[in-house]
Amino acid sequence: MDGRVTPAEIKYATSIMQLMGLSYSEKKKAIEYFEAGKKRCSEPTKFAYKLVDLIGKGSSLAKLFLQTQCRLAFVKGGLRLREKVYLRNLAETLGFKKAQLDDIFREIGGTIENDFSRDSIPKRDAYKILQLEPEAQGSDVKKAYLRMMSKYHPDKVAHDNLPEESLKNLKKKMVEIRNAYECLCGT
């Protein structure tokens, strides 16, 4: 989804190919599709429409495909806003409602189920998290979001050799900030 492929994502994709029992030539073709999907110019939506034509909207195969894509997105740890939007669009294309996608997130994420529900944060708390007054509007919300993400992003403070627990807390703070932004912006 972001054009970068981590070793964990490759491992996950490889395990899916093994579970599917793909032949050598089928694996090779799957890897070609995987490589094509990494390119920024690739348009996954058109492939999703083709897939729906083949397997049907809301089918068990469509759900399995959506679950596989969600698990792949989780391999990096958590979902960024762009990934969540992509998965919501994919779910809709495949014939699933947002609540069904949230159920899949909960199944996969387990202990981080609240990370994906913007309804779990009252607006007043969202303003507090982003250090804003309740009358703040769109551009101010976005600026505050970017400021807070920059301040708490683990990559920004990684040079401080923080202990694992501190990095875990930073990631939780990032999720809180992202959820507050989504609550206020309605994404």
pLDDT at residue 26 above 50?
Answer: yes
Q: How high is the mean pLDDT of the chain?
A: 79
Domain with CATH 1.10.287.110 in the chain: 119-185
Q: What is the pLDDT of residue 155?
A: 66
Residue 145 phi/psi, 5-degree rounding, is -60, -50
As to burial, measured by CB atoms within 10 angstroms (0-12 exposed, 13-18 middle, 19+ buried), residue 150 is exposed
Whether residue 50 contacts residue 44, with contact meaning beta carbons closer than 8 Å, is answered with no
pLDDT tens track for 79-90: 777 788 888 899
What would the two tokens of residue 83 be? Answer: 């990934």
Q: What is the pLDDT of residue 114?
A: 38
Whether residue 1 contacts residue 83, with contact meaning beta carbons closer than 8 Å, is answered with yes
Which position has the token pair 């989780």? 74
SS3 93: helix
> In which band, very low, low, confident or very high, does the pLDDT at 154 lie, cut at 50, 70 and 90?
low
Contacts of 51 (CB under 8 A, 6+ apart): 62, 65, 94
pLDDT at residue 63 above 70?
Answer: yes
pLDDT tens track for 102-139: 888 888 763 233 344 444 578 888 899 999 998 888 78
Q: What is the pLDDT of residue 108?
A: 76
d(CA 144, CA 162): 25
Topology classification of domain 119-185: Helix Hairpins (1.10.287)
